[in-house]
Amino acid sequence: MNKQKVADLYEKKNKGERFSLLTCYDYTMARILSKTDVDMLLTGDSASQMILGENNTLNISMDMLTALTKSVKRGAPDKLVAADMPFMSYQPSIERALINAGRFVAEAEADAVKIESGWPQVETVRAAADSGICIIAHIGLRPQSIGLKGRPKAEGTYAEDAVDLIKLALALEEAGAGFILLEAAARETAELMQSRLSIPLIGCGAGPSCDGQVLVVNDVMGMFDGPAPKFARKYAEIGSSIAAAANAYHEDVVSGAYPQDTESYHIKTQEKQKLDDMLKEMS
């Protein structure tokens, strides 16, 4: 596979072709996904829930996400890999944001960096873009800001809200964002937004008009048995397969069917008599 570039996704948009993203949090899954047609991998702060078992996306650090992103890039060196700025890694100041976004690029070799973006982040995005970092500006439902609204809900379902979202997307584009990611928003709002943007629009529960789509890999593969959003489509039951394999292994261990002779190492033939003699001397 040829090494993918951000420009490839722009070319797809210009041709009217859609592209795909999946979250990915570890080397092993990245190795598997490196052999697929998926266009980009996102090491999201959703690792807080999917990897660490937290109830939200707030409890994961820059160090952790940097290490995870680095492992994903090792597993899929030819794929585009985006990193996700965790909670409070960019909110305190533009300087803090640039330092941390730079870590993802320099230490983890990320091709892009995602920032949950409201109006206060427009200048942060501008500064990062001016520094040469490809930014995915995440708008709509922003999990790191759910505390402000109390619970997650679809965005852009009212006319005024839709206009505000479109204005924000255009402002982020003007600031230099490479992509807009719109989460959990009315499909009509996404369609109007997509037609006004010159940069690619990535949807996460934002309807079919977006240039690209992203989902959590654990949801897609059927590896997570917790609640999932309505837009998460399951394509496999890997979780059930893993459980079945674990039970089959357990039964083989208990019954003595594992390991077999072919799965065992042997002392060298010429050493067997020597070993017997040495053991006799011990006794």
Burial of 265 (0-12, 13-18, 19+ CB in 10 A): exposed
Angle at which helices 122-130 and 94-108 cross, to 10°: 40
**How many CA atoms within 13 Å lie on the side-chain side of 204?**
26
Please tell me whether 84 is known to bind a ligand: yes
**How many CA atoms within 13 Å lie on the side-chain side of 59?**
9
Please tell me whether 225 is known to bind a ligand: no
Q: Are 114 and 100 in contact (CB under 8 A)?
A: no
Annotated active-site residue 183? The verdict is yes
**How many CA atoms within 13 Å lie on the side-chain side of 125?**
28
Please tell me whether 45 is known to bind a ligand: yes
Please tell me whether 116 is known to bind a ligand: yes
The single residue of 17, 183, 191, 263 carrying the catalytic annotation is 183
Burial of 89 (0-12, 13-18, 19+ CB in 10 A): buried
Annotated binding site for 3-methyl-2-oxobutanoate: 45-46, 84, 114
Annotated binding site for Mg(2+): 45, 84, 116
Which residues does the annotation mark as catalytic? Answer: 183
Annotated binding site: 45-46, 84, 114, 116
